[in-house]
Amino acid sequence: MIGDYSERLIVQEVSPRDGLQIEPRWVETADKIALIDRLSLAGFSRIEAGSFVSPKAIPALRDGEAVFQGLTRQPGVIYVALVPNLKGAQRAIAAGADELNLVMSASQTHNRANMRMSCEQSLQAFRDVVTVAGETRLSLNGSVATAFGCPFEGAISEDRVCALVDHYLELGMTGISLADTTGMANPRQVGRLVRRVLERLPAAQLTLHFHNTRGLGLCNVLAAYEAGARRFDASLGGLGGCPFAPGASGNICSEDLVNLCDEVGIDTGIDLSLLLELSRTLPALLGHDLPGQVVKAGRNCDLHPAPNFDA
Amino acid sequence: MIGDYSERLIVQEVSPRDGLQIEPRWVETADKIALIDRLSLAGFSRIEAGSFVSPKAIPALRDGEAVFQGLTRQPGVIYVALVPNLKGAQRAIAAGADELNLVMSASQTHNRANMRMSCEQSLQAFRDVVTVAGETRLSLNGSVATAFGCPFEGAISEDRVCALVDHYLELGMTGISLADTTGMANPRQVGRLVRRVLERLPAAQLTLHFHNTRGLGLCNVLAAYEAGARRFDASLGGLGGCPFAPGASGNICSEDLVNLCDEVGIDTGIDLSLLLELSRTLPALLGHDLPGQVVKAGRNCDLHPAPNFDA
């Protein structure tokens, strides 16, 4: 059932971080900065602009400091940095990030694979970050990866996810992200979990991070919006793959999401034309095609000339 | 809002017709028959198995007679033939089709481009088909192409679509398909139009045909299901492109739709494992990759081995 679409949907653009992090081709610092600056001009109010992880682990983003220091800040735009630990947080704070995003998995096995520590060790490390960030103006966001399923463990209990959300809030984080890291969520599950989590914090503090791995990314956005969620991660061109499924999509595509919103009448504040123009620059920058659909098909309003019937 | 998912969703498989019709590589008659037979064994109750169009217009399907006569009929499966006119209908009846599907566009411009006649001429031609089919046991389905938008004219009024549905029903057709021929539909529009059309005929007689051109195919299925629709066209692997957008998707993908239904608990009667196995044969048969996502990513239940943390 289609509900009330009158409230704005906030798209947090993650291509500069979650998109670029697994690209094999090096993207020059100046190109990263140009991308972020053009994204801010297209109307995004939140951009995950980089990460402060070990350069050995994520060489593609080893220039985080230079990126944050080089971008042209637009008023009202929040530039987010992903940080794995205290050292990363200190680097991000020094580089001028507005918000720190901390990630751990609801799945122990996935957290060990991704972070090389147990969930308990992750939470302990977050305490140190909270202490340091508490002395600054920065806000903190806690992401729960594999919140809708784990590629190693399978189903993740909703009680487990809710307990982690409670833990994050107790630690003092103001933002919470629920991430469908490998695209296992379905709309029914999404509606149910979003309603449970929104009993714990206001919609303005909750972000949903969906992948389109099995083609359900935008279905899940609609289900979450209809359950009350208002903020969603998305990536220009759908940049950012799925490490477990070569050829499958990863992040939902920003311009496809904005197009959906435009078509059903949900305001995003984002200029789709500018976004499509920017998306068209990606294949040359990265050396490969991207999964975004609207950039290939055009908008509904891009009409085709009628064939000449006399020919 | 997620509603009641207790009623079966019928998937009508269209890859042998709508999928293959624009493939440049010739698919042998025996391979077409094998595909259709394996689809019927996977649990589809309706298969659009071919068309009886001029072989000059659609050379890829010029073996319609041999295909229909060669397939192994499964009890309860309806084998549908697309026919453009009386001559096509006579050929389809002689070949043993169970149902004839007639197509015209709601858009005059698109109908002229696609059918080389006006909508009025199409309706007149359908009268002749209705007369001939009336002497047989065959059922007739009328498809309204560009029902959600036209790539030449833009928006199509819902009144226009409803008037054509009424016209089809008056002609004596028992089935109606609403086709989003170039992927312009959005979930809100779909819910509205489906509700209006279901005031005119029972859900068992209505089919929705969505394209995933702008990434909204499965969102539109859910919106239509929630508005009461129960039957949907889909194509194995997402076979069948969009002629106006090179690289963009066309038909929604059968196995991605069945996976969605399995995950949210909507019964389809289709065996997803068999379907994925069959989808994996398509790249070799056709010589190119296909847009289906689940065949690349695997099902949620296909877990990955956990990494060795001692390594």
- Chain A, nearest residue to B290 by Cα: A247
In tens, the pLDDT along B150-197 reads 999 999 999 999 999 999 999 999 999 999 999 999 999 999 999 999
Cα–Cα distances in angstroms (integers) from residue A163 to residues A46, A156, A170, in the given order: 27, 12, 10
Which pLDDT score, from 0 to 100, does residue B3 have?
72
Q: Does B283 touch chain A (CB under 8 A)?
A: no
Q: Is A261 on the interface with B (CB under 8 A)?
A: no
When scoring B196, B264, B272 by the number of chain A Cβ atoms within 10 A, the one with the most, hence best to mutate, is B264
Q: Which of B5, B191, B245 sits opposite A2 (nearest CB)?
A: B191
pLDDT at A1 exceeding the cut of 50: no
**Lowest-confidence region among A134-148, A242-256, B120-134:** A242-256
pLDDT over 90 at A81, yes or no:
yes
B-facing residues of A in 81-110 (CB < 8 A) are 109
> Do the Cβ atoms of A247 and B289 come within 8 Å?
yes
Tokens 């969102």 -> residue = B219
SS (H, E, C) chain A: CCCCCCCCCEEEECHHHHHHHHCCCCCCHHHHHHHHHHHHHHCCCEEEEEECCCCCCCHHHCCHHHHHHHCCCCCCCEEEEEECCHHHHHHHHHHCCCEEEEEEECCHHHHHHHHCCCHHHHHHHHHHHHHHHHCCCCEEEEEEECCCCECCCECCCHHHHHHHHHHHHHHCCCEEEEECCCCCCCHHHHHHHHHHHCCCCCHHHEEEECECCCCCHHHHHHHHHHCCCCEEEEEHHHCCCCCCCCCCCCECEHHHHHHHHHHHCCCCCCCHHHHHHHHCCHHHHHCCCCCCCHHHHCCCCCCCCCCCCCC
CB proximity list for B281: less than 8 A, separation 6 or greater = none
Cβ within 8 Å, pair A2-B151: no
Burial class (CB in 10 A: 0-12, 13-18, 19+), B148: buried
Say whether pLDDT at B47 is over 90: yes
Cβ–Cβ below 8 Å for B305 and A152: yes
DSSP annotation string for B199-242: TTS-GGGEEEE-B-TTS-HHHHHHHHHHTT--EEEEBGGG-S--
Q: B237 at the A interface (CB within 8 A)?
A: no
Question: Cα distance from A35 to chain B (closest Cα, Å)?
Answer: 23
Work out the average pLDDT over B74-86. Answer: 96
- Domains annotated for chain B, with CATH where assigned, are 10-297 (3.20.20.70)
Query: Residue B227: closest CA among chain A residues belongs to which residue?
Result: A1
Question: A244 in contact with B at a CB cutoff of 8 Å?
Answer: yes
Catalytic residues of A: 242
Cα(B274)–Cα(B105) distance, rounded to whole angstroms?
Answer: 34
Interchain contact B254–A (C-beta under 8 A): no
To probe the interface with A, which of B4, B221, B225, B263 has the most A CB atoms within 10 Å?
B263
Q: Which amino acid is at B139?
A: S
Contacts of A235 in chain B (CB under 8 A): none
| pLDDT tens sequence across A14-40 | 999 999 999 999 999 999 999 999 999
Phi, psi of B77 (to 5 degrees): -90, 130
Decide: A11 and A258 in contact? Cβ < 8 Å. yes
